[in-house]
Amino acid sequence: MDYRGQVDSSCTVMAPQGILLPPSPHPDEDRPNKASSRSLLRGFIRKTRARLVVGTLASMLNAALTWATPWPMKILVDSVFGAKRLPTFLAFSGSRVELLYLVAATMVIFALLGGAATFVSALSFANAGQVFSNDLQVEVFDHIISQPPRFFDQRKSGDLTTRLIADVQAIQRALVESLPTLVNSTLTILGIMVILALLGPIFLGAVAVLGVFIALDLNYFMKKVKAQARRARNMEGLANSSAQQAIMGLVVVQTNQGETAESTRFSRFVNASTGHSLKANVSQASMSASVTTVLNIAIALFVLMAGVAVFNHTMSVGMILVVSSYARSIYKPLQQLTKRAGIVGVGLAAKERVSELLASDESLASAHVAPSHWTRRGAVEYQRVRFAYGGSEVIHGADLVIEAGSRVGLVGATGSGKSTLAKMLPRLLEPSEGTVRIDGIDTRDIPLQILRSFVAYLPQETFVFAGTLWENIVYGMAGATRIDAVTAAREAGLVEVFHQMPNGFDTVVTEKGTSLSGGQRQCVAIARAVARHAKIIVLDEPTIGIDPALEGVLNQAFERLTQGKTTIVVSHQRATLHFCERIYEVRNGVVSESSMGGFFDATPTESAQVAESFRVR
């Protein structure tokens, strides 16, 4: 099957039903970062130095034994069965039978040492690869979760997951399965070619030609294998993103008959990945075939040259065995190298993708120590704050002062920038200009962990993890117990809500909290905020989609939660703002003080604008 054309040059896929799938980066646009690749290699060497040294020494011993293995056979042919005298440096004065036993014993010793060296080499390199890849996977995960929200705006979660799991596993496989073979084979081949070259000028010329051909052949085809493997990985990441999006939005997919469109999108990415993998297989097979063919011809030439030397009495019959043995010894390592080319190519492509991810660091700069003069009262101030989404500015020099312990509401039409301002406080978003201050201190001068323990942020969509209810309430609090969770729920006035669950606080929640209603998830979020004892509370549309029966309970919980704490409430609902002392409206990118009646009892035209914003929402 021809997979070309399954994805066009811009990777924009047109699915049935007139759905234009979002454009994705072309695989070639994700260029490898050579500096970060070298950094990854240096990290591997640094972390596994001891194992690499042991493995290399064992490989050198194994290669030396391979180099020495043919020579006992030469002695056997020339001096045991033939009449040629032993070299004087061997100084053996026994009978031929004794020499036969000595040669056989030497060969057994070589075999035992070779087996031990192979074991130590394989184990050392495999352990080095395993340890490094495990550490790398943790490093990549820590890197991903330390990035701010803007990092994920231009990256697909499925591709990030592919780099975290599949690419690191590809690196691990290349290290564990191929590194021992690569080191052993390379040392063996180089040593044999040097020995053959020392046998005479004619062998030197043949070895030089063979070496140049092998080097050029491997370099040419490995580049093609790696390039195709990288493209296949990129498309695999897009396929994972497509599958993840479809699964997360399964209800929408099914209720809108989008199964065919999603299947088409997913299959096109998978087919494109397969197409690139098939091309990589062709390159690998071509490399193996070309190397094998030339090597077999070279072996025949080596034997021919050795035979001519025997006829000319410049080489003994035993040397023919040495030459033919070396020729066979080159053949096996080269076959192993070409067979491992696919694994190595995928591993190199994966290394570049992981290196590119680690080099893409947008994590927030953070102070290491909180300012000593910080009073920690909770006063908030926005000074000439500006912010833009994709080049379009939505906040135009906004100013807002909130006294410590006061509760204010932010209102305004959808898209006016209310949530944007709210997210600046815990530094989920950073202003392009201006500053956000707490007690007169720029939030950028406060260590990020301390800042986020000081500010409790309740997003519009509460995320609940798989686990028990009480574990979700104390999420992120090291050493917290079930008692802490129950205490927080009691302080929020939500104990009865949780007791109504099948197993109370021990109720196991499914992934993403799908077994809970929106109101129940919000109850978890409120209890979570209470448990953190934050001085500043940010509620971002906390009652959107909540049924009326539970909305009253939540509003009471919000009032208890925010008592005596600096609070910002973003909401379109009057009832949610009832405990706020001041109301501010965000309009045209600026903040101005309003009132409950000023916003909710608007003129017909203004009411129509607000209603339209709800309709769009």
Q: At 12, is the pLDDT very low, low, confident or very high (cuts 50, 70, 90)?
A: very low
Q: Which of 18-32, 155-169, 387-401 has the lowest mean pLDDT?
A: 18-32
pLDDT in tens, 474-491: 988 888 899 999 998 888
- Does 16 fall in a domain? no
- Number of domains composing the chain: 2
Structural domain boundaries enclosing 325: 34-359
Residue 393 and residue 344 share a domain? no
Residue 355 and residue 411 share a domain? no
d(CA 533, CA 377): 13
Instruction: Specify the DSSP class assigned to residue 617.
Output: -
Residue 417 and residue 453 share a domain? yes
Closest by Cα among 437, 414, 389, 384 to 586: 414
- Does 74 fall in a domain? yes
Are 343 and 178 in contact, with CB atoms under 8 Å apart? yes
Are 545 and 575 in contact, with CB atoms under 8 Å apart? no
Q: What is the DSSP string of 339-369?
A: HTHHHHHHHHHHHHHHHHHHH---PPP--SS
Averaged pLDDT of the chain: 80
pLDDT in tens, 180-192: 778 888 888 888 7
Longest Cα–Cα distance of the chain, Å, equals: 119
Q: What is the mean pLDDT of residues 223-227?
A: 87
Is the per-residue pLDDT at 505 higher than 80?
yes
pLDDT in tens, 534-573: 899 998 888 776 777 777 788 888 888 888 899 999 988 8
Tokens 């980066």 locate to 25
Q: How many CA atoms lie within 13 A of 298 on its CB side?
A: 29
Q: Which of 22-36, 418-432, 519-533 has the lowest mean pLDDT?
A: 22-36
**How far is residue 219 CA from its own chain's centroid?**
27
Residue 384 and residue 347 share a domain? no
Closest by Cα among 229, 172, 187, 495 to 346: 229
Report the pLDDT value the prediction gives residue 406, as an integer from 0 to 100. 92
pLDDT in tens, 257-285: 888 888 998 999 999 999 998 988 888 88
pLDDT in tens, 406-425: 999 999 888 888 889 999 99
Residue 587 and residue 553 share a domain? yes
Report the pLDDT value the prediction gives residue 218, as an integer from 0 to 100. 81
Is the per-residue pLDDT at 17 higher than 60?
no
**Bridging pattern class, strands 590-594 and 582-587:** antiparallel
- Does 7 fall in a domain? no
Residues 6+ apart with CB under 8 A from 369: 447
Closest by Cα among 507, 572, 520 to 550: 520
What is the side-by-side order of every strand in the sheet holding 441-442? 392-402, 380-389, 433-438, 441-442
pLDDT in tens, 289-311: 888 888 778 778 877 877 787 77
Report the pLDDT value the prediction gives residue 597, as an integer from 0 to 100. 55
Are 431 and 398 in contact, with CB atoms under 8 Å apart? no
- Does 4 fall in a domain? no
Report the pLDDT value the prediction gives residue 16, as an integer from 0 to 100. 36
Residue 570 and residue 462 share a domain? yes
Using left for φ > 0, alpha for ψ between -120 and 50, and beta otherwise, residue 271 falls in: alpha
Whole-prediction pTM value? 0.71
